[in-house]
Structure 1
Amino acid sequence: MNILISEVGPRDGLQSIERIMPLEAKKAWIAAEAAAGVREIEVGSFVPASVLPQMADTAELVAFGNTIAGLTVAVLVPNLKGAERALAAGARKLSIPLSVSETHSLKNLRRSHDQVIDEIARVATMVAAAPAGERAHFEVGLSTAFGCTIEGTVPEDKVVDLAERAIAAGAAEVCLSDTTGYADPAKVRRLVRRVKAAIGDDRLTSLHLHNTRGLGLANVLAGLDEGITTLDASLGGLGGCPWAPGASGNIVTEDLVFMLQAMGYQTGIDLEALMKVRAIVSDALPGEPLYGFTPDAGLPLDFESRAA
């Protein structure tokens, strides 16, 4: 089975640290990951620079990413204005966050559930207006789907309801996001099943997982068992959420690729080449912690780095 790894470090990773990575270093990072076989990279987000100065060069990164053959350039957009800027820049995949925890939504986007659903409908209408062959893929990320550091437990019925409303508003699919690291394998299996039953298998193919409590890869396995085929990850485990106190980084791309390829899944990624990309990030952000067991331990003898 082929699994798509969506690298989110240039967006989710960099927005969570104070320092700003130089544009040329970001380009080198994106180019090196694409050369290693990564087929989708979330290069940034179209939010005001006054809010996240780390993302001020996203339009330039979209333009750069579009010069790389075979790379899907993804971005996060908070609203219709952000989506307009993303499409004008040439982004091929848009993701808008819809926090299942309404308190988190008000902190993150300053919008209620109803207001975000209205924005989703407007963005979907704009995306649909493009010619079929040029239409960007529009996804809604259901943030805090497994729990919230502000509200605590998030009812599964609310996750299912918002997934249905997002699809009804025109999104192509939803992604379940463990923004705060509250997920466990049983919860992942249960929630993926429930959401798929409500909106269809083809409307939920991806998970965005964090490793806050060490369950990131275990949760990946639970998702794979339920037919998930796209997984977000961040090089070196960079990333978190400014509005989720205590939330640590995403699952480590290198460890995820190692586990999948060791199990016989196809990723198309050269793991040895991928691990060398860490030097670009560490050189540009000296002293910034990078995580990952595989880069520290190295590959086992006779390990087949590139899945056939």
Structure 2
Amino acid sequence: MTSNHLIHVQGVSMIDYRQVRYFLALAEYLHFGKAAASLHLAQPSLSRQIAALEEALGCQLVLRSSRSVALTAAGRELQRTASQVVAGFDSAIRSTQAVARGDRGELKIGFTSMVAWTGFPRMMREFSDAHPSVNLVLNELLPNDLARSVETGENDLYLSFKPLGQSTLQYHALQAETLCIALPADHPLAGNARVALADLSHSGFILSPRSTAPALFDQIMALCQGAGFEPVVRMHTHLQGTILNLVAEGLGVSIVPQAMAKPGFAGVRFFPVAGSPEIELGVSWSGANSNPCLRAFLRGIGVATEARCR
């Protein structure tokens, strides 16, 4: 016996946890040979373990004869109560291992409204299907609040455009989005088969401010400048969905990620931007975050992580 399997019970000698399991197998089969076979033990070894358990408890558990095995009253009580304890202990072990693997727990994810129109919802479904005991907490935030939410622990990760500049967070690219032009349905150009960016040089734009989405803002500015004009920004608003609602009201035009065109917006016509660069989207997280559910999520998207519990 090793000390790793010993249980201290007040008033009795140290009990080997395995002996309790052996006893429960014997109590189930009431036959030393069958119980020993189920435990992959030699029958004499099982007999010695049961005798050692009886000695530790100071009472007889089993009535033995050459033809039968029966439980004493004390043995029946131990069977009743120990079965519950062993089942509870086994459940605790499985639950502990599941938490350590990231198969059980909670994962908090920050995202922007635009993410809802990309492939991220499908990713959430796939992770949820693979980890049904993980509670997903989805927090919709403004883009410039996402990094701070992960740094402070409010979220475990966030989904958004690739961060610009230096960051203390880790990042993994997932997909890329081209850009498209969004026009009011009654705009003079809305009936055209194609619209060039240069055609919008005298239009008022509705955009997210650079502080909200720097990567997107810089790409839009570069595209317009490449088309020979500096866009006149009539309105700034944070959310892409709000931008499209304002475009639908005829308050201006915009350039938005192609994902925003997928669901369709009443009152808005979308046109691809010729030669549009791709804007990278991905997941960001803190390397100091020890949440096993985060590691499980990262492994699911192909990010190698340390496996703490197999």
Provide the TM-score with structure 1 as the length reference: 0.22
Provide the TM-score with structure 2 as the length reference: 0.22
Larger radius of gyration between Structure 1 and Structure 2: 2
